[in-house]
Structure 1
Amino acid sequence: MLFAHGQRDLALRVLSNLAEMQLENRHVLRVLGYRLMQAKAPALAVPVFRDVLALGEEEPQSFRDLALALEADHQPQAALAAFNEVVVRPWDERFDGISLIALDELTTLLARTGVDARAVDPRLRRPMPLDLRVVLSWDSDNSDMDLWVTDPNGERAYYGNRLTFQGGQMSRDFTGGYGPEQFSLRQAKPGRYKVEANYFGSREQLVTGATTLTLRLSTHWGSRRQQDQQVTMRLKDSADTVLVGEFEVR
């Protein structure tokens, strides 16, 4: 509410109370980092995500969250290193698929900036441009959120229909918290696309009283014409299906 009323400084001060609640709880700190990113304060989010990484190096989201904050804070070289950790490290099977999503983000960072890529395996440096890319993330662990994208043909891409007739691809289903889930489409058919999020529920006590989802929609992903839009929503009730938005490709 404070952000909505233009009281940014006070809003950030109130938000900082999260850091005082449980300094050794990476889940609380992660929520704080996400809120700071939503507030377009990546410089403040970076040290928070560094603390999260120190507490939870076994979770690839810790590296990816830091990488996204570093990129937003105009530190592309450091962001590249963090993305690369997600790509090359072996992870527990419950994180299956996140390496490919981070690889998309790494190669796009390479395509759009002049960073030194020598630390990246040459076989992985090829950019993978897309007409459309939709990524859903959320801020509560042990929560199950699903991304649904319906194309102009009326076909819905989701965890039960990961490959569409038009060529869309949905990433693997994340049921253990944070995500991300990604829909990608290399050549987008003209028409209207509908993006929804289905919330199955959470198996943990939520610090903030609700799960907040963040959806990032990108057109011309991986090119210099790339444009991004971000939507943030709070969901309290399980089994909710919410319309995040619709957009038209011409």
Structure 2
Amino acid sequence: MYAPPSPAAVAADAASSTTTLDAIAIDSSAAAASDGGAATAISVSLQAWQPDSPYARRLRAADGKRAYALYLDEREAHRDSTAFYLDVADILFEKGERDLALRVLSNLAELGIEDRALLRVLAFRLNQAGEPALALPILQQVRDMAEEEPQSHRDLGLVLAAVGQEQAAIESLYTVVTGDWDRRFGGIDLIALGELNAIVAAAKKPLDTRRIDARLLRNLPVDMRVVLSWDTDNSDMDLWVTDPNGEKCYYGFRDTYQGGHMSEDLTGGYGPEEFVLRQPKPGRYKVEVNFYGERQALLTGGTSLQVLLFRHYGSGQVEVTPVVLRFKQAKDTVLVGEFEVR
């Protein structure tokens, strides 16, 4: 059973090591400069990802309402296929049929009401569609089903922030920061700490942070941030970011000459993995994901991934572009998109 240590224990750890506070290689003076300076011009372009099954090709060739009719025709043959519902919803979103896409997605909850992987996928898609309020009760259910997994608390905290419940959000994230988690989830506490501080800094009214050790309260804004999460336990996904110098930041080369930093390699499932760069030089930055391997059967016709591409993270000008895609087999590599810095 999960039992978080006291805040005093966390403070003792912070006092004995600078790792927590300096994990993303930004000092406090640089952070302050980033807060006050002019924003770097950064744009994001995405690599289109489309399912290529026969039914997906048929639906893609039809107009919106006709595509839904084709979905109804195909549904009986694919009734138990989660990949089918994900593919159809994606196509309907592309065609601007938002309500129909949300209706199709709702089938996932009915298929696997006690399957936290399916529920996570559903929440990812709803959040990507700009419906965090619909994702919230799903992630509350996931948290209750898997309290021993820090990702459950982190996912819930981020959606709480998205619906304006910042106080509850930082409390959920602080659970991740202070938790005594399985060693395969190493490094998630540092990522959650950065997210907690960004929420505190962006809140429109002061939040109650008395429970949080003051030495852990420091916002560290960055101009470029990429976060990868996935839904399948015991799976290893790797985030790669290649900068204009040609350096690829990944688990085997975590710190680049330019100052890019990759978080710890989480090989046991779910992620997150995070890349941050405080002040990117002009040029293009390629974001890729590699499916290194998995050690369990995939119930969703593949592993679903969520990639969040942030610009000006931790500042009042933050922008985020979410991407959800799916891998069918190990050793695949997918180009997610690119940042262009001018």
TM-score by length of 1: 0.95
Change over 3 Å in CA distance of 1:29–1:233 after alignment to 2: closer
Helix, strand or coil at the partner of 1:16: helix
1:99 aligns with 2:169: no
Q: Distance in 2 between matches of 1:15 and 1:219?
A: 29
Change over 3 Å in CA distance of 1:231–1:32 after alignment to 2: closer
Counterpart in the other structure of 1:55: 145
Counterpart in the other structure of 1:70: 160
Q: Is the Cα–Cα contact under 8 Å of residues 34 and 139 in structure 1 kept in the other structure? A: no
Please report how far the alpha carbon of residue 23 of structure 1 lies from its aligned counterpart in structure 2 after TM superposition: 2.6
Query: Which of these residues, 268, 280, 288, is aligned with residue 196 of structure 1?
Result: 288
**Range moving further from structure 2, 227-236 or 104-113:** 227-236
- Deviation above 3 Å: which 4+ runs of structure 1? none
- Percent of residue pairs bearing the same amino acid type: 60
More helix by share: 2
Q: Distance in 2 between matches of 1:200 and 1:98?
A: 19
Q: Distance in 2 between matches of 1:230 and 1:8?
A: 17
Query: Which of these residues, 277, 293, 298, is aligned with residue 206 of structure 1?
Result: 298
Counterpart in the other structure of 2:275: 183
Alpha-carbon displacement from aligned partner over 1:78-124 (angstroms, at most 9, x marks no partner) = 11111111111111100000000011100000111132222222111
Helix, strand or coil at the partner of 1:247: strand
Q: Distance in 1 between matches of 2:186 and 2:311?
A: 25
Counterpart in the other structure of 2:179: 89
Select the structure with the greater relative contact order (CA < 8 A; seq sep ≥ 6).
Answer: 2
Q: CA RMSD in A?
A: 1.4
Please report how far the alpha carbon of residue 70 of structure 1 lies from its aligned counterpart in structure 2 after TM superposition: 1.0
Query: Which of these residues, 20, 23, 40, is aligned with residue 130 of structure 2?
Result: 40
Helix, strand or coil at the partner of 1:132: strand
Please report how far the alpha carbon of residue 179 of structure 1 lies from its aligned counterpart in structure 2 after TM superposition: 0.6
Alpha-carbon displacement from aligned partner over 1:137-181 (angstroms, at most 9, x marks no partner) = 112222111000111111110000011111111101111111110
Please report how far the alpha carbon of residue 191 of structure 1 lies from its aligned counterpart in structure 2 after TM superposition: 1.7
More strand by share: 1
Q: Is the Cα–Cα contact under 8 Å of residues 138 and 212 in structure 1 kept in the other structure? A: yes
Q: Distance in 2 between matches of 1:215 and 1:116?
A: 30
Counterpart in the other structure of 2:209: 117
Counterpart in the other structure of 1:13: 103
Q: Larger C-alpha radius of gyration, 1 or 2?
A: 2
Please report how far the alpha carbon of residue 34 of structure 1 lies from its aligned counterpart in structure 2 after TM superposition: 1.8
Counterpart in the other structure of 2:317: 225
Q: Is the Cα–Cα contact under 8 Å of residues 260 and 276 in structure 2 kept in the other structure? A: yes
Please report how far the alpha carbon of residue 30 of structure 1 lies from its aligned counterpart in structure 2 after TM superposition: 1.9
Counterpart in the other structure of 1:166: 258
Q: Is the Cα–Cα contact under 8 Å of residues 242 and 287 in structure 2 kept in the other structure? A: yes
**Range moving further from structure 2, 46-55 or 194-203:** 194-203
TM-score by length of 2: 0.70
Q: Distance in 2 between matches of 1:232 and 1:193?
A: 19
Paired residue total: 250
Alpha-carbon displacement from aligned partner over 1:13-36 (angstroms, at most 9, x marks no partner) = 222222222332222222222222
Alpha-carbon displacement from aligned partner over 1:13-63 (angstroms, at most 9, x marks no partner) = 222222222332222222222222122211111111111111100000000
